[in-house]
Amino acid sequence: MSPMSIINEPTISSNGVVRPTFVEVELSRLTENLNAIRRHVTPARVMGILKANAYGHGLVETARHLCRIGIDYLGVAFLEEGILLREQGIDAPILVLGGIMGNQVPLFLDYNLALTASSVEKLMQVEHEARRRGATARVHLKIDTGMERIGVHYYSAGELLDAALRCEHCEVEGIYSHFANADAADLTSAQVQLERFMTVLQECESRGLRPPLRHIANSGAILQMPDSHLDMVRAGILLYGVYPSQEAPRTVAVRPALSWKSHVVYFKVVKPGHPVSYGSTWQSDHMVRVVTVPVGYGDGYFRSLSNHAEVIIRGKRYPVIGRICMDQLMVNIEWETAYNGDEVILLGESGDAAISAGELAEWAGTIPYEILTNINTRVPRVYLE
C-alpha cells in the first residue's frame, strides 16, 4: 500500500518530512467493515458516526471516504463538526447528535444540518427560526428511554410528538433513542429500553406522525439486537473495526482500520540499579538495552500505561518501562537488537504479533473508545488506499 494523503500540516516540516510518530488508516478496511455491517443489518440503512475526530481516524478524510463508498448518513456530536464537513465539501446527510443552543439554530439551517430536537422548547426554537426564514429545518426527535442524558422521557414523549405535528417549518425526518447497555452480556436493560422506544413509536403511529428514519441501534445492538435495527443503525466503533466490549458477540467480522506507529530514536545500555524515567519507578537488576520512542501522553498515549504496556519491535513484543513522559517513552529490549529508525508498533500488527485497542484499554484501565479518541491531533494521519 502507498500513502494516499497525509493530514495535519502543522506536524509536517517545510520539506514534507513527517514526525516519526503517526497514525496509519487503511481505508480499504473501512470499506470492508461498512460492507459487513450492511450485510448484517439489511434492509436498514447505516449512519456512520464521526464523533471525536472519527474515533481518532480523522474527521474529514474518513467522511470523504465514507461518502465515496456510499454511506447513507453521517452522524457527528457537535455543530462545529458538521460545519467543518460542509466547508470541506461533504454533501451527505448529517445529523448532529448532541444538544443544541438556541443561538446555534441559524447555523444548522445555513449548513443544511439535521438537528436533534430533545425537548418541546428546542423544537419550538427551531420552528420559529425556520418560519422567520421561510425555510424548512430537518429534525430528529430524541427520546430518552433510560440513558438520562438528553431527550424527552419516554413516558412524557406525547407532548413532543404533538408539538412536532403542529410544526409547519420542521420536517421530522427521524426519531431516535440511545442504548446504555447494548454491548453487555446481559441485555435485560437494553430490552427494556427497546420496549419503551417501540411504545413511543406506536404513539407516533397513532397520531399519524411517521418519521421515515427510526433508529436506536448502536454498535452493540448491531451485533446482538437485530430487532432494534429498524430503519437505520448507527455504526460507531464497529465501523472502525473495534468491538465495543469483550462481552459483545462477534456476529459481524470487522478488522481495525487504524495502526499507531513510531520509530526508535535512541539506544542505550542501562546498568543494574539505574532507574528509568520520572519517579524512578522501574529499574533492572541486570544490564539491559533500552530504546527511546518519541511518543508520550502529550500524543494521547496514556501515562497509566507506564510499566504495563507493550510495543512491537521487529515482530516481537517488549515492555514499556518507567513512567511515560509527555513526548517520549522507554522500552526494555533486554539484550536483543534494535536500531535507530526501527519501526515501533504502539497499536496494530506486525507479522504474527498484534496489539489491539482492547488490550491497550485493559492495560490503561479504560475502554477502547478512549484509546482511539485520545490520540492527539498533533499525531499526523496517513491514509492508505
Output the DSSP codes for 11-61: GB-TT-PBPS-EEEEEHHHHHHHHHHHHHHHTTSEEEEE-HHHHHTT-HHH
Is 55 annotated in the active site? no
User: Within its chain, how far is the Cα of 81 from the centroid?
Assistant: 13
Burial of 91 (0-12, 13-18, 19+ CB in 10 A): exposed
Residue 83 to residue 117: CA distance in whole angstroms: 18
Closest CA to 105 of 73, 135, 63, 150: 135
Q: At what angle do helices 120-133 and 158-166 cross, to 10 degrees?
A: 10
The residue from 278, 318, 339, 369 that is catalytic is: 278
Residue 143 to residue 152: CA distance in whole angstroms: 5
Could you give the C-alpha distances from 311 to 243, 261, 307, 381, in angstroms and in order?
A: 21, 10, 12, 19
Is 278 annotated in the active site? yes
Look at the chain and count its residues. Answer: 385
Q: What is the DSSP letter of 103?
A: G
Q: What is the DSSP letter of 98?
A: S
3 prior amide bond cis, ω within 30: no
How many other CB atoms are there within 10 angstroms of residue 131's CB atom?
15
Residue 191 to residue 176: CA distance in whole angstroms: 15
The residue from 51, 142, 243, 383 that is catalytic is: 51
Q: What is the DSSP letter of 228?
A: G
Output the DSSP codes for 116-165: EE-SHHHHHHHHHHHHHHT--EEEEEEEESS--SSSEEGGGTHHHHHHHH
Cβ distance 380 to 18 under 8 Å?
yes
Residue 123 to residue 102: CA distance in whole angstroms: 10
Residue 153 to residue 144: CA distance in whole angstroms: 5
Give me the active site residues, please. 51, 278
